[in-house]
Amino acid sequence: MEVAAVPAEVAAPALVTPPAAAPVQASSRLLLNGHPVSGEFAPAVVGGRMQGGFRALFAGLGAKVSWLAAIRTARGQSEALTVEVPVGSRIARVNGRRVDMGAAAVVRNGRTVIPVRFFAQATGATLVWDSRTGVAALDRPARAMARQATR
């Protein structure tokens, strides 16, 4: 008995495996003005990017932090700076201006997590990564948030 080839238009579709979620690597240390950043989400490298908890980062600078549940957005606000980060989006708003964070904000362990580099850029902080020790150090000179807001 001969088996006929199955025409391409009726062949079984190829199985597509969805991409795996970005791996969360062991926690690295994150310092803000020389003090460890702590909170319910330990800073970690996710998909090659250092991530930190939104609340811990902004509260560490003395900003008021709030959660806008209706639009799933975290907000950090100081005198001259308002940063809004919608969960699931790469696009944040810094004083109303759209800014690409480089990676989407996500929720891990019930906390909004953002790229640390975006936080540094939005607040005017400097960011130094020491690959030897695994420490990311953020330094925000006094009044940097106010200067950043006027740019």
Residue 64's identity, in one-letter code, is K
Measure the CA–CA gap between 138 and 34, rounded to whole angstroms.
8
Strands (E), 87-123: 91-94, 97-100, 106-108, 111-115
Rounded to the nearest 5 percent, the helix, strand and coil shares of the chain are: 15, 40, 40
Highest mean pLDDT of the ranges 27-31, 65-69, 107-111, 147-151? 65-69
The pTM of the full predicted model, rounded to 2 decimals, is 0.74
The pLDDT of residue 46? 81
Summarised one tens digit per residue, pLDDT across range 13-54 is 444 433 444 444 445 789 999 888 877 778 888 888 899 999
pLDDT in tens, 96-123: 999 999 999 999 888 999 999 999 999 9
What mean pLDDT do residues 56-81 have? 94
**Residue 133 φ/ψ, nearest 5 degrees:** -100, -15
How many angstroms separate the CA atoms of 93 and 26, rounded? 30
Residue 142's identity, in one-letter code, is A
Q: What pLDDT was estimated at residue 142?
A: 62
29-32 and 135-139 beta bridge pairing = parallel
| Alpha-helix runs per DSSP H in 17-79 | 54-59
Element (DSSP H or E) covering residue 120: helix 116-123
CA dihedral sign, ordered 38, 41, 44, 47: negative
- Cβ(75)–Cβ(66) below 8 Å: yes
Residue-range domains of the chain with CATH:
27-149 (3.30.457.10)
Stretch 50-71: mean pLDDT, rounded?
Answer: 93
**Average pLDDT of the chain?**
80
The pLDDT score that the predictor gives to residue 42 is 81
